[in-house]
Structure 1
Amino acid sequence: MITHWRNGNRLELLENGEAYYPRLFAAIAAAREEVLVETFILFDDPVGRQFRDAAIAAARRGAAVRITIDGFGSADLDATFTAPLLEAGVHIHVYDPVQRLFGQRTRIFRRLHRKLAVIDRRLAFCGGINLSHDHLRDFGEQSKQDYALQIEGPVVADIHRTMLEVLAPPPRRWRWLRRQRLAPVSPQQQPQDGPAVAAVVIRDNDRHRADIERLYRLGIRAARHDIVIANAYFFPGYRLLRDLRHAARRGVRVRVILQGNPDMRFVQWAANTLHDYLLHAGVRIYEYCERPMHAKVALIDGDWLTVGSSNLDPLSLFLNLEANVFARDHGAAAALRDSLEHLLAAHCREIDPATARRRTLVRQLLSYLAYHATRRLPAFAGWLPAHAPTRATLPQAAAGEMREP
């Protein structure tokens, strides 16, 4: 695990699209040199079109604008959406474009699930919010609850470098040399007067396969007073579950916020199989019931926090490309604590161990089978025909549909 902790950062928590989109779009509108954006989902909807307009305006001012979208999550974009971007000089990169088989998208594993942005190498964003209308409350009952960070300081350079490496993955034997050439701005060139110590931590299918999970576990094992985890898809490995149980048994207040109004019912059922194991150790479990929970955040002891794209499930922990920012910062942690405490008080129901479904022999067997079948998903995926993820760049001369080069 390679983690570069940087001093002197400034972090601001942004809750939901109402806070995130105005900040992102205003930053793009002020860009003069460069706009880098990565997202799993970019939809042709009110939010996607507003983002498109901001990117076009930045490109026409002379900024270098590069957008990287995932070929599975953004597979439905067509030429009517991409043509104005390409005509303005925006570079659109597609991570592992998919083909359709009988109308269905293929290559569902090892996706680019990150949500990152860097503006003029000075301002960055990291979180779980896609560029789509369903992160705004006016979308309706299925609008999502989620978070992002606005970041200034030395860690911005690390985020920038991480994004460039996805665009130009180096050959293994020259990786160290290519990393030096890709370095955009050294952390020492960034302002260092902020209060936060922070690091961007990625998960990939090369040298960083378990970094995010390890940072979670280190934080949990160091906790002394309080742990709050809010996670959309909660089905972590045994070691992380064991660390949560041990924390609760040594007197730490451990609270986990899960989906009570899920967008995928199987996710809720799978998480339910873990309830007995955690509740009997003193972990308190809540279900967020106002709308779908899409958050991927955690808070420990009032100053340790993480915000990013990684769920605590097999897809995020073992297959997808993910990015989280981990930090120690009292200001951002206080904002996250206030938000999570409000959710707990106003929109969550606690699962009472006394009234939870009893741990019968049949239920234990089903829980065991569901847990291990899901945890073995990466191995099952490995049995499928292997392919190295490709990167396609849409031709600027002709605004055609997304396709492999």
Structure 2
Amino acid sequence: MNVAVEHIATDQPPDDAKARDLDYGWQSGNQIELLENGEAYFPKVFEAMRAAQREILLETFILFEDKVGFELKDILIEAAQRGVTVVASLDGFGCGELSVAFLRELAEAGVAVQMFDPASKTLGIRTNWFRRLHRKIVVVDAAVAFIGGINFSADHLGDFGPEAKQDYAVQIVGPAVADLHHFALAQSGRQVRTRRGWRRRQQRPALWATSEGDGLVRLIYRDNVQHRDDIEEAYIHALSKARTRAVIANAYFFPGYRLLREIRNAARRGVHVQLIMQGQPDVLLAKLAARMLYDYLLKDGVVIHEYCQRPLHGKVALVDDDWSTVGSSNLDPLSLALNLEANVLIRDRAFNQQLYESLEALARNHCQTMPEKRKPRLWLWRLTVGFLVFHVMRHFPVLTGWLPAHKPRLKPIESPAHDV
């Protein structure tokens, strides 16, 4: 029996050039629910999938063969067997360890499995490290959408143990789902049909919604074509308008100078700026890199917390009492300059307050706060290592740019023994 697994080796699908250059505007009248960790996220997503009648579109960076991955597989198979169109777009690096048997079960049931930029191991090591499909999006029946930082793996559940991740996503019901649906269709390479409730935006919409009211949502994304800086610009713009408070919780924090300067400037003009970083990192270099920036931020009044209970995997932020963002994008060179990412911007006071209370409890109960004036220790060593780490991280996207660029293509693979 053949396993049909399509390989997507492109930063954007080639079939819909118009769709990939779209800017999605602000949509009002949405219901937004914060989902914290897998305990809240997986039941909601799985419930929506089980109730699907027409279509399930899924993008994820990681899918593991564990209790979460097996449950997802069973749900997708059952949906496909009852006639639901199911498209699962997986990253070739994050999902590179999936077995042929696992993929065969999905394909035989009629699930369209797509692998972004897969590569076989070289000397036992995977080489496809950069320009990853890092988005986490689920859209069911074009009626409900989920977006955030949570992958389909058991390490997003508390019972996984000390290495369980702290993370966030949102469920959206309302007009903004049409944009997420259109985007997911376009990125999957499927035919995009203009549906009622979706309209093309001819001009780039404002980063800051001008209309009044709650439930405003805008989809933003990062690609390597027309939207390289959209997520970073959204952060910069929001912080430039901050008046009272700003909270950023981000797992991998090493932004460019413009964003760092806007964080510092907000604190200088009296905004209460809090950063929540990894204190128990799953990648040690990420913690070391972030700490290179502490002195620069602390001296201007930025409050820095390190979350120490378990690894922080969140990518969320809020400004003042109504602006928030949730998505897949870290604030580091990989997410801001290489990966394919997607966030939603939200203007909703109730959601902003809910997110603020969650992050405030995290900072108060499970974080250590960095002292404003830290005692210098091993000063020369820290200076030397800091200099090297800073410049390697800062120029990392340029260095990876020397690697061969992906050529847009969709390549169907029909070999059950193919290593994916």
Give the Cα–Cα distance (whole angstroms) in 2 for the partners of residues 185 and 294 of structure 1: 36
The residue type paired with residue 183 of structure 2 is T
Structure 1 residue 357: Cα displacement: 3.5
Task: Give 1:341's match in structure 2, choosing from 360, 364, 368.
Answer: 360
Aligned-residue offset at 1:219:
0.6
TM-score, length basis structure 2? 0.88
One-letter amino acid matched to 1:150: Q
| In the alignment, structure 1 residue 140 sits paired with structure 2 residue 151 | no
* Equivalent position amino acid for 1:140 in 2: G
**For residues 134 and 401 of structure 1, what CA distance do their matches in structure 2 show?**
27
Q: Is the 8 A contact 1:96 1:392 kept in 2?
A: no
What is residue 44 of structure 1 aligned with on the other side? 65
TM-align CA RMSD: 2.0
Q: SS of the counterpart of 1:5? A: coil
Q: Counterpart in 2 of 1:304?
A: 323
Does 124-133 or 52-61 show the bigger shift? 52-61
Deviation at 1:387?
2.9
Secondary structure at the aligned position of 2:321 is classed as: coil
CA distance in 2, matches of 1:340, 1:183: 39
User: 1:304 touches 1:326 (CA, 8 Å); kept in 2?
Assistant: yes
Q: CA deviation at 1:168?
A: 1.9
Name the counterpart of 1:317. 336
Q: Structure 1 unaligned runs (5+)?
A: 170-177, 189-193
Aligned to 1:385: 404
Matches within 5 A, 1:80-119: 80-119=101-140
Are the equivalent residues in 2 in contact too, given 1:226–1:254 (CA < 8 A)?
yes
Aligned residue number for residue 197 of structure 2: 186
Deviations for 1:319-343, whole angstroms, at most 9, x for unmatched residues? 0000001111122212211110110
Find the aligned partners of 2:404 and 2:227 in 1 and give their Cα distance: 23
1:175 corresponding residue in structure 2: none
- Match for residue 12 of structure 1? 33
* Partners of 1:78 and 1:371 in 2: CA distance: 38
1:207 aligns with 2:226: yes
1:186 shift after superposition: 2.9
Counterparts of 1:292 and 1:54 in 2: how far apart (Å)?
28
* Matching of residues 2-401 of structure 1 within 5 Å: 2-168=23-189, 181-187=192-198, 195-357=214-376, 360=379, 363-364=382-383, 366-388=385-407, 390-393=409-412, 395=414, 399-401=416-418
Task: Please give the secondary structure, in 2, of the residue aligned with 1:31.
Answer: coil
TM-score by length of 1: 0.91
Question: Which string of whole-angstrom CA distances, capped at 9 and with x for unpartnered residues, describes residues 230-279 of structure 1?
Answer: 00000000000000110000000000000000001111011110000000
The total of aligned residue pairs comes to 386
Amino acid of the structure 1 residue aligned with 2:131: R
Aligned partners of 1:392, 1:113: CA distance in 2, in Å?
Answer: 20
**Residue 101 of structure 1: SS of its match in structure 2?**
coil
% identity of equivalent residues: 50
Q: Is the 8 A contact 1:310 1:316 kept in 2?
A: yes
Distance in 2 (alpha carbons) for counterparts of 1:33 and 1:2: 26
Partner secondary structure for residue 330 of structure 2 = coil
Amino acid at match of 1:21: F
Amino acid at match of 1:186: G
Deviation string for 1:55-77 (max 9, x for gaps)? 11111121101100001110011
Q: Secondary structure at the match of 1:292?
A: coil
**SS where residue 187 of structure 1 aligns?**
coil
Q: Is the alpha carbon distance of 1:3 and 1:357 closer, same or farther for their aligned partners in structure 2, counting shifts above 3 Å?
A: farther
Return the alpha-carbon distance in structure 2 between the equivalents of residues 357 and 128 of structure 1: 35
Aligned position for 2:204: none
Separation of aligned partners in 2, 1:362 and 1:217: 33
> Structure 1 26/280 Cα, relative in aligned 2: closer, same or farther at 3 Å?
same
